[in-house]
Structure 1
């Protein structure tokens, strides 16, 4: 029997592209599926770039080593050498593969549960585009025979380059006198962060390292994680707590009281510190970005880093300092910029370290909570319903488009009118009382996400609970 075609294997796999890479159940990532995606990716990249090497790294999920081994096996089978960097943050892989001008594959499912995983692909000049995804799915080559072998030795250069990126622009006494907690859990960068903060002068307390995978979602931080942070702050008298999601591209940073900043608020402050002129941000981000008046130009996009990155070239026409970020806190640097007299190269993929370090630098003479209080009083909250079929989410959104006031009533919101409906990504309704309700199916998992804006934290959190509890009772 002849070997199957790449396109057939991918089509039958159950693995599909979402907002950030190809995602699916671990049981769907069979060796031939990993090989098919890898071969298709390499073929698409060879249409535009000359290369003989591929970079690969993984997160700490139990399934990631086997997936990486299959990807490496098929690359070797077609004569492509592989630089294997082991467990490192996704942006660390991107920094070095871009420096080497070679493509890269990160094996990660980011924040989604451990029974799922994913592949994130990088061109030699950054994340693949949505058009690249279409091209990968269309490759019709025959899958070659390959043998999955043990993983090669881990190269340390990518981890070292990533730390040097920030040690070169921030002074060695940046965090002098600060007590920084590092919530390590199962983050791919947990062996790097304490070292970095110590080299920047901080006293570091490492916290919560886990031998099992912890699916931290920086857009929907659990009550358990919030309470842990507050307890740690009281116990260790910390000035801030830093953490990330599973693959280290989305940050969590607390203020001096142990309260975690929303990702878009963290990045807004970071962009201010970096003197960014033009921003691209998804429609789900806090309206304070525009209301603050800090930025010359702001472009709203669909949710997902490829859509943010797609706007950078256009924004370059209005500013030479371009960046983007997402509500999850991932910061994307769209242009080379000078920081503290040193050049920081563009990194058009989500990064957790830059926004956290920028805000800690801003807080040198002021507390983090005071920095937040200087922003407009617009507060965002978000959460999700897991195991909510995409078809259910789409039906709910369709109901909102056809009968928006009826849907709001069913969600527990009466005596309000709608002043604006935005369908850039999902259904985003601005109400006449200034509040915002945004419903959207996740692109990575069977989940319905709800984002709201309100005039207080308590009101925003209460709205999310009210809306999601109401949806659970609906027959959609």
Structure 2
């Protein structure tokens, strides 16, 4: 006996959202039934576009959250139900399972909640040729699936089966970088690897050693730690500075939970913001054209390093769409990166070894390695490498418990009227902080450039009751202060209304 369920209804009933990042929600809401249904809907969509049929293999992997093995088993059951064969890649980075899927020409999925706490989890889906994009998301949400009678009253599988024998995808992922950079690329460098609970921690350690560097293991945890590369915890800032000082490290390397977003600290233990690592990586690789969200550091334009810079809305699907457009325009080697540091390679590129194949999904390893290799090649520290870029600094924070409707109302209020009226209104609101408003950008939210060079960017969150604020200035201290004061003004305005 089967039960027909629409994905749109299931989203509403379960509270498990489905977007271009895949499915994401509370572990308690991500029952086997919900995960099974979303996986079936994904494969049904791929069947509609000719990327899945019975007998086709589907790769599956997960991060180190306690709930990941159960969700992986539910997804594997869905793959088998749809007539697919499961390639169990185990617990490996998101880009490793994606790279395997792209190389094999098969779909893949990664069970991960990325950087969010472990009371939540998610499933990220990849097509045979790249990430799920907006049109795919809409098509998956429009699916209805016939669920078999496999679940108990709690929505859990009555019988569990082993997922499948393990397939080694870590070795080719490691070889991708060793073959490209060579076994002496990090020779002479003493590098700390902040392991915490990142699924790619052992791969990072192996890579440092395979590339000739000295690897120092730091902070391994058997309890899941939600590391957000865009909002580094104060304790992680303090730890990095302590480790750098006590151990004489040249750099500290880490990633978020599913190891698709990098964390890189210099020889002083100062974490480098992800969008700046993206610029350094793109420069090191000799990239010609860059796609990056509108919220990222403007040093990418000011540096004059790239023939084309395409700004996008925030989110990897928009970055990928812009990368694809740059490739079609014949702009040469093309990459993308996000504020979280995730680096996407749209075209193959030549490097010292055998070159690098394209990997059009967020990757943490490439930006870390390319930046370190470039610093070693030049014989400079990471802080000195960073100083070669224009001195622009960004900061981001958010107002929590700020309803989406209120965020939208604020943006609508600020941007209505003629351009002159908008600039006058923005100058009136923020002028005491930053002077006269000179230009606005509505690519994603409201980005205001002031005549003195400072930037304030306000954006309602797409998936939480939050108003995000991104600021940019000519010093890190100024960017942070500007962010704090901007949010204070908005908070005050909310209290006055």
Instruction: Name the TM-score class by shorter chain.
Output: over 0.9
Q: Greater shift after overlay, 178-187 or 17-26?
A: 17-26
Q: Greater shift after overlay, 398-407 or 347-356?
A: 398-407
Counterpart secondary structure, 1:193: helix
**CA 1:149/1:404 → structure 2, altered by over 3 Å: closer, same or farther?**
farther
CA contact (8 A) 1:19 1:444 kept: no
CA contact (8 A) 1:241 1:253 kept: yes
Q: How high is the TM-score relative to the length of structure 2?
A: 0.91
**CA 1:273/1:415 → structure 2, altered by over 3 Å: closer, same or farther?**
closer
Q: How does 1:206-245 map to 2 (within 5 A)?
A: 206-245=217-256
CA contact (8 A) 1:9 1:32 kept: no
Quick one: distance in 1 between partners of 2:465 and 2:92? 27
Quick one: distance in 2 between partners of 1:444 and 1:31? 23
Query: How far did residue 394 of structure 1 move?
Result: 2.5
Query: How far did residue 211 of structure 1 move?
Result: 2.1
Structure 2 unaligned blocks of 5 or more: 151-156, 417-421
**CA 1:131/1:385 → structure 2, altered by over 3 Å: closer, same or farther?**
same
Counterpart secondary structure, 2:202: coil
Quick one: distance in 1 between partners of 2:20 and 2:390? 29
CA contact (8 A) 1:411 1:471 kept: no
Alignment-derived partner of residue 45 in structure 1? 46
Query: How far did residue 129 of structure 1 move?
Result: 1.0
Q: Does 1:92 align with 2:104?
A: no
Query: How far did residue 433 of structure 1 move?
Result: 1.5
Structure 1 unaligned blocks of 5 or more: none
CA contact (8 A) 2:343 2:367 kept: yes
Query: How far did residue 423 of structure 1 move?
Result: 1.6
Quick one: distance in 1 between partners of 2:485 and 2:370? 35
Q: How does 1:1-40 map to 2 (within 5 A)?
A: 3-7=3-7, 8-18=9-19, 20-40=21-41
Quick one: distance in 2 between partners of 1:275 and 1:262? 20
Q: How does 1:91-110 map to 2 (within 5 A)?
A: 91-110=95-114
Alignment-derived partner of residue 434 in structure 1? 453
Q: Greater shift after overlay, 411-420 or 112-121?
A: 411-420
CA contact (8 A) 1:77 1:145 kept: no
Counterpart secondary structure, 2:3: coil
CA contact (8 A) 1:264 1:286 kept: yes
Alignment-derived partner of residue 469 in structure 2? 450
Alignment-derived partner of residue 387 in structure 2? 373
Quick one: distance in 2 between partners of 1:164 and 1:41? 30
Tell me which of 280, 286, 299 is aligned to 1:269: 280
Q: Does 1:61 align with 2:65?
A: yes
Quick one: distance in 2 between partners of 1:159 and 1:387? 41
Q: How high is the TM-score relative to the length of structure 1?
A: 0.95
Quick one: distance in 2 between partners of 1:136 and 1:180? 43
Quick one: distance in 2 between partners of 1:194 and 1:123? 29
Tell me which of 367, 370, 373 is aligned to 1:355: 367
Query: How far did residue 6 of structure 1 move?
Result: 3.6
Q: Greater shift after overlay, 377-386 or 298-307?
A: 377-386
Q: How does 1:316-355 map to 2 (within 5 A)?
A: 316=327, 317-355=329-367
Q: How does 1:256-295 map to 2 (within 5 A)?
A: 256-295=267-306
Counterpart secondary structure, 1:433: coil
Q: Greater shift after overlay, 423-432 or 262-271?
A: 423-432
Q: Greater shift after overlay, 109-118 or 182-191?
A: 109-118
Q: Does 1:390 align with 2:401?
A: no
**CA 1:369/1:19 → structure 2, altered by over 3 Å: closer, same or farther?**
farther
Q: Greater shift after overlay, 203-212 or 257-266?
A: 203-212
CA RMSD of aligned residues (A): 2.0
CA contact (8 A) 2:427 2:437 kept: no
Counterpart secondary structure, 2:21: coil
CA contact (8 A) 2:43 2:52 kept: no
Query: How far did residue 449 of structure 1 move?
Result: 2.2
Alignment-derived partner of residue 419 in structure 2? none
Quick one: distance in 2 between partners of 1:373 and 1:239? 16
**CA 1:179/1:429 → structure 2, altered by over 3 Å: closer, same or farther?**
same
Query: How far did residue 53 of structure 1 move?
Result: 1.3
CA contact (8 A) 1:112 1:445 kept: no
Q: List per-residue Cα deviations over 1:279-324 (Å, max 9, x = no partner).
A: 1111011111011110011110111111111122321223231111
Query: How far did residue 219 of structure 1 move?
Result: 1.1
Q: Which has the bigger relative contact order, CA under 8 A and spacing at least 6?
A: 1
Alignment-derived partner of residue 315 in structure 2? 304
Quick one: distance in 2 between partners of 1:415 and 1:239? 37
Q: List per-residue Cα deviations over 1:32-71 (Å, max 9, x = no partner).
A: 1111110110011112224511111111122222221111
Q: List per-residue Cα deviations over 1:198-221 (Å, max 9, x = no partner).
A: 111111111111222211111111
Counterpart secondary structure, 2:181: coil
Alignment-derived partner of residue 246 in structure 1? 257
CA contact (8 A) 2:433 2:482 kept: no
State the number of aligned residues.
476
Q: List per-residue Cα deviations over 1:230-270 (Å, max 9, x = no partner).
A: 01101111000001111100101011111111111111011
**CA 1:170/1:178 → structure 2, altered by over 3 Å: closer, same or farther?**
same
Quick one: distance in 1 between partners of 2:210 and 2:247? 20
Quick one: distance in 2 between partners of 1:6 and 1:422? 38
